[in-house]
Structures are given as structure tokens and as C-alpha cells.
Structure 1
Amino acid sequence: MRDMRIETGMITQASGSCRVSIDGGTDVLVGVKVEVASIEPDANAPGDDGDVAVGEEGVEEGVAGRDRDRGRIACTVECSPSATRVFDPRDVEEMSNEFSQLLERVLNGPHGGIDLKALCIVPGSTCWVLNIDALVLDYGGNLLDAIFLAIRGALHNTRIPRATVEYSDGHVEFEIADEETEIVKGWEDVPVGVTMNKIGSRHIVDATPIEELCAAARLTVAVNRRGNVCAVQKGGKGGIEPSLLAEMVQSSKHVGSALLERIDAALRQEVERIERREDPVGFRH
């Protein structure tokens, strides 16, 4: 993989932020804004839509019922005009929607890492919502993987105000502290994305724009720090043979585990850099 550079705390008005740039052009800025919101009314009536989800223990549970005591994450991916010169505007819109939906499914899913229950303030009533906005500043290939990395860095940098809940005479009141903050619980379990592009009968990682144009299909695998596969999404018009698919997943797990070690080491250096007010650091994979 190409060299990467990471820097956190870029946006002063955000609850957390991170910028990731890849040698060769790709540059992504992610900001996280936390806000208090009502738990959606549909979440108070389990089973209304008939959807089910498989929990960590393999038991099916109503999605609506599960969300009554959990916060949620909203993701938006946008591209700046300067980053989209090589794309048709329609393709940019489709790509942004695809990436936004994938990120929301992963981060709100059972293996997204974030402790969604810790984002609940008053069960069935009020919760924290993490609004994650990713802005593509420049494009040089391997865009989705860079966004995953920037989200992990931004969540590491995010601080949530401490909420105090009081119960009195059947009423519930909560107060948001002005100074006290908490980290996002579970950020360290947020997966990174590893995209493998199929060219001919083989596959490559960290594709450049030209390599992406040569690829018949791509496979994005979300891998957490335990080496577990959290999500898989296939893209491109070509097919992937079952044997090659298994090989691509295994390669993604290997690359993802190594990448997580390096980005977490870079984040630790970034904390030290901020304390010393020094220039950003990079990390090599």
C-alpha cells in the first residue's frame, strides 16, 4: 500500500475530526458532530415493519425493539468539485449514496464496533446521534478505504458531553454538562475497509485510478481488530469466482489486521503530536 498521512482535530467546531491523505492524490476529511435527538417513534413499536436482525448470539430480534435503548449513527459522503473531474456527475451521486449507505449499515450493525447502547440517554425517548460527514477533497484511488480510516480517526478524536439523568415523581430529566466529556465507547472496535480490485484472474489492494478502471470487479471487506469480517460488499459489473472470492476475503483480513495496527500506532503518535504542537505524522504500510 502507498504511504498515508493522518491528522486529527482539524475542524474546531466539530466534536471530532480526522484527515487522511494517500500518496498519489486521495484526500479525505471526516467530521463528527454529536447532537441530542429523540428516539424515532417507529423504534417504540417493535415488529411493526417485520424486519429482523441477528444479534451477537445468533438470536433474531426486532430491529425496532432493539433500537429503543440505543443511539444511532448517520453518515454522509460528499465530493468536492475539484475531486470529481474524472467522474460523471451522475456517477458521483451514485457513489456517494452507495458509500453513505454502506457506512451506515456497518456502523449501526451488530459488528460496527460503536456501543450504541452507551449513546442512549433516556431509553425509549432520547439519545445521542453521531453525524459523520465525509468530504472527499481529492481523488487518487482507493477512496472507500481512506474514508473508513478517516472515520476511525475521527471517532478516536470525538468527545461526547456527559449526560446526567435524574428520575423524580415519575418524570425523567437529563442535563448535559458544559465541560465534562466522554470518549466514544467502542471506537477501537470500529472496522477498517479493505478493497480488493479484480484484474484478470488476480486481485490487488490500494488501487490507483488507472488500476480501478482496469478492474472488472471489486470487493470491499470490513475487518475489525480481532481479524473478524464485519461486512462484505461487491461492486463492479464483473463476476468473481467462488475460489477467488474466498482468497480475496482472506487477503483482506490479513491486510486489514496489519493496517489497524499501523493506524492505531499513528493515532497514538497523533495524540502526542497535538500535545507537543508539532507537525502531522504519517504511517507506512
Structure 2
Amino acid sequence: MPVLISPAEREYIINGVDHNIRADGRGRLDYRQIVIETGLIPQASGSARCRLGEGTDVLVGVNVEVGQVDMEGDDEVIRERKSKRGRVICNVECSPIASQQFAGRGAEDFNNELTQTLDRVLNGPQGGLNLEKLCIIPGAECWVVNIDALILDYAGNLLDMVFITTRAALHNTKVPKTIITKTEDGLEFDFSDDMEDAERIEGWENVPIAVTLSKIGSRHIVDATPLEELTVDARLLVAVNKNGKICGVQKGGSGSIEPSLLNEMIQTGGTIGQHVIQKLDEQLEREEKETSKKIVRNESVGKLGFFAAI
């Protein structure tokens, strides 16, 4: 059953946004508090869990395994480039208990949309990860980075949280050191058993996050709640990295966005995204130091709370 909103509620939300006072007390460009935990899945190469306010809850596990390089494609140049790169495979699933709208067949389309968006950014030219460093033997074996995200609870702003949690999980991911030797039959490889030799995936720090800007009335907001999402005319996803560089833009919703407002929303997304990544990295660095002091890896739980007001 679709969630409905009354005309009075809609008017209340639009007027609040227009006056920069939202129902929960935030301004138009304020995020709810984000709580981050890393290293929650012992069997995974890396993992993270992020909770947004009292609602949206996302768990991401990263598994790194050896696989075949991707040699598909009609263009020889593309195949040659792929033969020297590792692979990233994304999968996002919404738990049916997270929200009514995730029950039944409707969840499949939603899962596909979230998966394709994450995959398009991470495998794009501005995805951040150095895929060439993940190649073990060109044309043969490579590291395959499997990213699995599970939506545990829903209270709006899913895409932003999926990207933030994925970035935190990649920070927590370690890849075993690869030892390559030449033999009469060609190249062979082995791995170091010492996990202290393992390293993070090169370029993880350049992985972008998403900032979803929602147009309500003549204004736009970030981190929309479920009720606010019901009043959205159009939304704009802006993928941005730690340097504030725009790595991708995707428009959603049936409404239009005026050119002048579009430019403003893109600039706002870049500024807010850079601020969010700075706070996220500060927390991840703090947590890592606390964990190393305790010796027990991933024991500590970090919290990140901030408001990205511009």
C-alpha cells in the first residue's frame, strides 16, 4: 500500500522548508546525526554500519577474492584496458522488515536502482579505487571486490547512507599482499599469510559519496525524511569526492529543475559532500587510533555527528 500524505501536511512541509525550519528542527542543509561502526563482520575483508538519526540503518560488507579479469566487450581497446584491471561488483538489498515499501515485488526494482547507481559511480572514471592495482596477472587473475549493502531500517535518504557506509567499509578493508613469481610456464602468484602485510585498496580515500538534494517548492534540502520525500518534485544526486570534485550527477523525480537552481544545487552538493567526507575521515582516523591502542582490532565504536549547514 503506497504511503499517502494529506494536502495540509504537504503545505506544512513546503512552508517550513521555505522558511528554513523543518519539522524536526533542522535547517534546509542540515544532516541528522550519523553513527558509524566498522569491523562488525569477522568473516568479511571489511565492513561498516551507519545509522542516520533514529532511523535509516545500513550495513555493508566487503569481500575480496581472486577471480578472472573481465574480458567482455566488442571494442579491442576496451578489452585490453579491462584485462589489466580488477573488478568491483555491487549489490544492494532492502530488508522487507525495514519498510512496507520493501515488501513484495516492489523491492526488486528498488534494489536494482540502488545497485545500479552505486555500481555506476564506483566503476566509473571517477570511482576512486585504483582498479589497475587490483590486477594480479594481466589477462588472467585479479582481485574482485564484492560490495554487499543491506538496508536494515528506513527513515529516508537511503542513497547517501549507502555511499557513506560503503566508503567506511572500504576504509576497513584489507587486501593480502600478493607475491608473484616467474616460472617456465609463466607467472604464478601466492599470498602472504601475515595480515600485517595486508594493505588497503589504493584509492579508497578518493571514493566519492552521494549527496541527494531534494527540490521542495522553490527550495532544496538535504537528508529528506520519508514525509519530506513525499513532497519532493525532483531530486538531484551529486557524487563528490574529498576534494570537492563532482564525480557524477543524476536527476530523479518527475518534476523539472530550472538551470539556475540546478547549478546552485550542484555547487551546494559539492560543498556539503566535501564537508561530510572530512568529518567521516576524521572519525575513521580517530577510531583506528583508539582500536590500535586497545590492540583488539575493531573493538571500538565511533560516533559521527555533524550538521552540514552552508
TM-score, normalised with respect to structure 1: 0.90
**Matched residue SS, 1:128:** strand
- Does 251-260 or 169-178 show the bigger shift? 169-178
Instruction: Kindly state the Cα deviation for residue 169 of structure 1 after the two structures are TM-superposed.
Output: 2.3
Q: Are residues 83 and 35 of structure 1, via their aligned partners in 2, closer, same or farther at CA, if it must alter by over 3 Å?
A: same
Residue number in structure 1 paired with 2:146: 131
Could you report, residue by residue, the CA deviation over 1:233-282 in whole angstroms, capped at 9, with x for unpaired residues? 11112221222111110110010011111000111122133333444323
Distance 2:283 2:99 in 1: 29
2:60 pairs with one of 27, 30, 55 = 30
**Matched residue SS, 1:270:** helix
**Matched residue SS, 2:55:** coil
Could you report, residue by residue, the CA deviation over 1:149-178 in whole angstroms, capped at 9, with x for unpaired residues? 001100000001111111222511111222
Q: Does 1:283 align with 2:277?
A: no
Distance 2:252 2:107 in 1: 15
Instruction: Kindly state the Cα deviation for residue 42 of structure 1 after the two structures are TM-superposed.
Output: 2.3
1:65 pairs with one of 80, 94, 102 = 80
Partner amino acid, structure 1, of 2:211 = V
- Does 91-100 or 66-75 show the bigger shift? 91-100
1:197 pairs with one of 194, 210, 214 = 214
Residue number in structure 2 paired with 1:227: 244
Q: Unpaired runs of 5+ in structure 2?
A: 1-30
Whether contact under 8 Å (1:112, 1:190) holds in the other structure is yes
Residue number in structure 2 paired with 1:147: 162
After superposition, where does 1:93-242 map in structure 2 within 5 Å? 93-179=108-194, 180-242=197-259
**Between Structure 1 and Structure 2, how many residues are aligned?**
270
Name the one with the larger strand percent: 1
Indicate the RMSD between aligned Cα atoms, in angstroms: 1.5
**Matched residue SS, 1:137:** strand
Q: Does 1:47 align with 2:64?
A: no
Q: Matched residues, percent identical? A: 49
Distance 2:111 2:53 in 1: 22
Whether contact under 8 Å (1:8, 1:19) holds in the other structure is yes
Could you report, residue by residue, the CA deviation over 1:199-220 in whole angstroms, capped at 9, with x for unpaired residues? 1111100100111111011111
Could you report, residue by residue, the CA deviation over 1:20-57 in whole angstroms, capped at 9, with x for unpaired residues? 000030000000000100113426xx616xxxxxxxxx
Distance 1:279 1:112 in 2: 27
Instruction: Kindly state the Cα deviation for residue 181 of structure 1 after the two structures are TM-superposed.
Output: 1.2
Instruction: Kindly state the Cα deviation for residue 112 of structure 1 after the two structures are TM-superposed.
Output: 0.5
Could you report, residue by residue, the CA deviation over 1:59-99 in whole angstroms, capped at 9, with x for unpaired residues? xxx43222110001000000112112245634322121111
Distance 1:278 1:203 in 2: 36
Could you report, residue by residue, the CA deviation over 1:98-123 in whole angstroms, capped at 9, with x for unpaired residues? 11111111111111100000100001
- Does 20-29 or 102-111 show the bigger shift? 102-111
Q: Does 1:13 align with 2:43?
A: yes
Whether contact under 8 Å (1:30, 1:133) holds in the other structure is yes
Whether contact under 8 Å (1:29, 1:134) holds in the other structure is yes
Which of the two has higher C-alpha Rg? Answer: 2
Distance 2:103 2:175 in 1: 38
Partner amino acid, structure 1, of 2:281 = D
- Does 91-100 or 120-129 show the bigger shift? 91-100
Q: Unpaired runs of 5+ in structure 1?
A: 49-61
Distance 2:32 2:243 in 1: 24
Residue number in structure 2 paired with 1:74: 89
Q: Are residues 150 and 279 of structure 1, via their aligned partners in 2, closer, same or farther at CA, if it must alter by over 3 Å?
A: closer
- Does 170-179 or 134-143 show the bigger shift? 170-179
